[in-house]
A and B are shown apart, each in its own frame.
Chain A
Amino acid sequence: MLEVKVKKKFGNFMLESSFQAESEILGVLGPSGSGKSLTLRCISGLQTPDEGKIVIDGVTVFDSRNKIDVAPGRRNIGLVFQNYALFPHLTVEKNIGFGLKDFDPKTKERLVSEMVEKVHLNGYENHYPVHLSGGQQQRVALARTLITKPKLLLLDEPFSALDKHIKGLLEQDLIQIIRDSYKGTVLLVTHNAEEAYRLCNRILIFSKGKTIQIDNKEVVINYPTSLDAARITGCKNFLNAELIKEDESFVTLKSEYLLFQAQKPNVVLPAKLTAGIRAHHMQLSSQPVTEINNFSCKIIEFIEGIFSITVYVNCSGHIMQVEVSKENAKQLLEFDREKTFLYIPPERIFLLPQEDN
């Protein structure tokens, strides 16, 4: 269990990090420069926060008020660096055994060979890091920390240095190794919402140095609590709207050009709102399909991706992005580009208080 509540100022940048994590894989999501890596460095003791408190498994490792600041080497935290930071002059075996102290050579040798086995690096014991692939280097870095049985495992953008085509395989491999041989708290830092969703149970979102939301991944993706959280999790469409009417289960909203309905959330709504709709939740059709939330629109542009097509449409002045799978896109081409219909499912709209910017 990890409890963090720290502040640190860096010129104009202010880190305010506050969250708790259990024995789980917590995804730490945010754009670059939002304070994720800095938070890891504060937890591991490589950076000293200006104020606050860090507690790991009931042990306070940092407390500005009581002047507690345990040295990094004594916190027993495993950090896998973004570039792995392997010792280039040591073999795989020596790298992995580097953190083992107070063991006789025999035990040390046994522990190292067990760990080599766990991370599937048999046969590479005497290789130097420079002769390993990116994935192998990453596993050495993981093994090097796991062997010390850390109380906390921190992974700093573990996949950003890898080629995309091998990323998928390595991701599953790495998570499997961690699940098999590590029982404590894992923080996985990433700027990729997909990656966080695939690999973690809960997600913590960072924006501009602050922790802005932490929850189960489904909740974070479906009900972001702020515009930044919505943007970071990949939401592309936002409509500023006014609350017109509240019914039992639906609310009616009016944006500059559109009148639409959304599912009513369990919170009291302010009069001025921002409605967020994810690009893949909307549908395009040649005829209106339902009575509500169907809007006539013009197709401006198709942008073809590998597996899907992004369609830009102009809905009475609002430019919206719709993501359509390739199969469905075929029929789209036959539509009248000037007169297509956009459907926004009311249950897919999330409502946020309007922020001025």
Chain B
Amino acid sequence: MADINFFPLFLSLKVAMTATFFSIIVGLPTAYFLSRSDHRAADFVDTVLTLPVVFPPTVLGYYLLVLLGRQSWIGKFLEEQFDIMIVFTPVGAIVAASVVSIPFLIKSARAAFSGIDSDILNAAKLLGRSEINIFFSICIPLAWRGIAAGIIMSFARAFGDFGATLMVAGSIPDQTLTMPIAIYDSMLAGKTELTNKLVMIMTGTAAIFLFLLNRFEKRITKGGR
């Protein structure tokens, strides 16, 4: 195993975990508001957020480049104000992975939030709890299964992303080369043995993570539901 560079594996894990983290922070409140609103705007937001699932990764990557590249308004702003560059950096990989994975979390969590009996929320409201308090004390626990499934899906999606990451972050060895891209590179270079090893590592890691996340979901679900 001495010939294997583990950088892509660690980068992939780091990117997937950070992307999942952002998906939770942004996705859960979004899913909650979408589930509570029957306004047309909610459907519009939902559609926009689901587009990344339907787009070919290259199209999505291209949009991100246009939106966040050094020539773009956001890209310029971030570079000038905070010295942050997105394109061809690990940050870009995280952005790409977040965008592709967040719809899975939102879809799953929105369905779970919508399934909560609105009278349960009304009861909590009448008992004097604030919206935020109700979100954490009632909604998250009751929708937990759906949320957990969403987290698992979005982690899996972020971990395995290839196209969008390649478009936005490129494949700079030891900088932005994630595991799926490393596998592609090594296959193109004809290193069959290395490719096999990398695929095995990827498969093993994915299986372990899914197993751990499933355990985590079951442990938190309680209340005899």
Contact = CB atoms under 8 A, between A and B. Distances in A.
B141 A98 contact: no
Nearest to B222: A89
B225 A77 contact: no
A130 interface: yes
A98 B122 CA distance: 13
A73 B129 CA distance: 7
A85 B122 contact: yes
B127 A98 contact: yes
Contact of A89 (B126, B127, B223): B223
B34 interface: no
Contact of B119 (A81, A88, A90, A144): A81
Nearest to B131: A73
A88 B126 contact: no
Given A83-B117, A88-B225, A89-B142, A148 B125 contact: no
Interface in B118-137: 119-120, 122-130
Contacts of A79: 122-123, 126
A101 B223 contact: no
Nearest to A73: B128
A228 B208 CA distance: 68
A131 B225 CA distance: 10
A261 B3 CA distance: 111
B190 interface: no
Contacts of A76: 128
B128 A85 contact: no
Interface in A184-235: none
B9 to A, nearest CB: 38
Interface residues of B, number: 19
Interface in A83-141: 83, 85-90, 98-99, 101, 128, 130-131
Nearest to B224: A128
Contact of A77 (B124, B126, B138, B222): B126
A85 B138 CA distance: 12
B89 to A, nearest CB: 42
A87 B138 contact: yes
A187 to B, nearest CB: 14
B223 A99 contact: no
Given A90-B223, A128-B223, A128-B224, A73 B119 contact: no
B211 to A, nearest CB: 25
Q: From B128, B130, B138, B222, name the one whose CB has the most chain A CB atoms within 10 angstroms.
A: B128
Nearest to B225: A88
Interface residues of A, number: 29
Contact of B128 (A44, A87, A101, A128): A101
A146 B87 CA distance: 59
A52 interface: no
B124 A98 contact: yes
Contact of A83 (B119, B125, B129, B222): B119
A46 interface: yes
Given A85-B117, A90-B223, A78 B126 contact: yes
Contacts of B124: 87, 98
A73 B124 CA distance: 8
A148 B128 contact: yes
Nearest to A74: B128
A46 B120 contact: no
Contacts of B117: 83, 85
A76 B225 CA distance: 30
Contacts of B224: 128, 130-131
Nearest to A46: B122
Interface string B94-114: 000000000000000000000
B223 A44 contact: no
A85 B123 contact: yes
Given A83-B119, A85-B117, A46 B125 contact: yes
A73 B130 contact: yes
Contacts of A353: none
Contacts of A98: 124, 127, 129
A131 B224 CA distance: 8
Contacts of B119: 81-83, 85
B127 A73 contact: yes
B122 A89 contact: no
A77 B138 CA distance: 20
Given A81-B122, A83-B117, A89 B225 contact: yes
Contacts of A345: none
Contacts of B142: 87-89
B223 A73 contact: no
12 contacts: A45-B126, A79-B126, A85-B119, A85-B122, A86-B123, A87-B123, A89-B225, A90-B223, A98-B124, A98-B129, A128-B223, A130-B223
Q: Which 8 A-B pairs have the closest CB atoms?
A: A99-B127, A89-B223, A85-B119, A73-B128, A85-B123, A89-B141, A128-B224, A81-B119
Interface of A: 44-46, 72-79, 81-83, 85-90, 98-99, 101, 128, 130-131, 144-145, 148
